[in-house]
């Protein structure tokens, strides 16, 4: 199963970029991973920015992909539950599992409605930049759990 992570806007901080590279490299030992970046919108009302960013995310999403939205209001799960969720997608022949991280103002309702599942990493709000690293680490962790490797304690 192919994995895709979509996000809005460039990665600004060097330390975030290093984290992304580290965990993306680790994930690619287990599954093909593509990262795609939608241009962020600036200088409009929040709702308009969310709508335009949603349209751009939509264009980066293959038709056959199952979409998981990252959102602080989503379902919370443990790392083993997240691993079981990923394994279930793979075992039911989902061709591509896509994760989307919103921009600084979050998602438009229209894009939110497109999601097959919405998950929260915490009830706290993280920056849209930091979520990139935390999500990638959890995807990596999930694969070590699926493969019974001694990373998750
Ligand atoms: C700064 S947050 C946007 C906050 C905005 N108040 C909202 O309601 O969506 C930007 C993006 O980071 C991600 N994000 C932030 N905190 C998160 C969390 N605890 N769990 C999952 N995703 C989170 C989401 O994808 C969100 O769209």
In this prediction, residue 61 carries a pLDDT of: 96
Q: Is residue 118 a contact partner of residue 69, using CB atoms and an 8 Å limit? A: yes
- Domain over 2-146 is classified CATH 3.40.1280.10: yes
In this prediction, residue 135 carries a pLDDT of: 98
- Cα 25 to averaged position of ligand 1 atoms, centre (Å): 24
For residue 49, count other CB atoms closer than 10 A to its CB. Answer: 20
For residue 12, count other CB atoms closer than 10 A to its CB. Answer: 10
Give residue-wise pLDDT tens across range 35-51: 999 999 999 999 999 99
In this prediction, residue 47 carries a pLDDT of: 94
- Cα 151 to averaged position of ligand 1 atoms, centre (Å): 27
- What ipTM is given for this predicted complex? 0.98
* Distant-in-sequence, close-in-space partners of 60: CB < 8 Å, separation ≥ 6: 4, 6, 36, 38
Per-residue tokens: 70: 């990252």
Domain ranges of the chain: 2-146
In this prediction, residue 131 carries a pLDDT of: 98
Mutation probe of ligand 1 site: the residue of 56, 99, 128, 132 with most atoms within 8 A of C-beta? 128
Strand pairing class (2-8; 33-38): parallel
Residues of the chain with pLDDT under 50: none
Helix (H) or strand (E) holding 121: none
Q: For the chain, what's the residue count?
A: 153
């Amino acid at each position: 199963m192919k994995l895709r992570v979509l996000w809005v806007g460039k990665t600004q901080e060097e330390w975030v970029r290093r984290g992304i590279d580290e965990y993306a490299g680790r994930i690619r030992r287990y599954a093909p991973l593509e990262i795609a970046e939608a241009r962020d919108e600036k200088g409009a009302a929040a709702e308009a920015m969310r709508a335009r960013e949603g349209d751009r995310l939509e264009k980066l999403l293959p038709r056959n992909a199952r979409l998981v939205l990252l959102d602080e209001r989503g379902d919370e799960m443990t790392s083993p539950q997240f691993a079981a969720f990923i394994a279930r997608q793979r075992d039911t022949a989902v061709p591509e599992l896509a994760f989307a991280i919103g921009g600084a103002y979050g998602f438009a309702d229209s894009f939110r409605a497109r999601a097959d599942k919405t998950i929260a990493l915490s009830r706290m709000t993280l920056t849209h930049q930091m979520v990139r690293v935390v999500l990638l680490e959890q995807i990596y962790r999930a694969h070590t759990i699926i493969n019974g490797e001694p990373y998750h304690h």
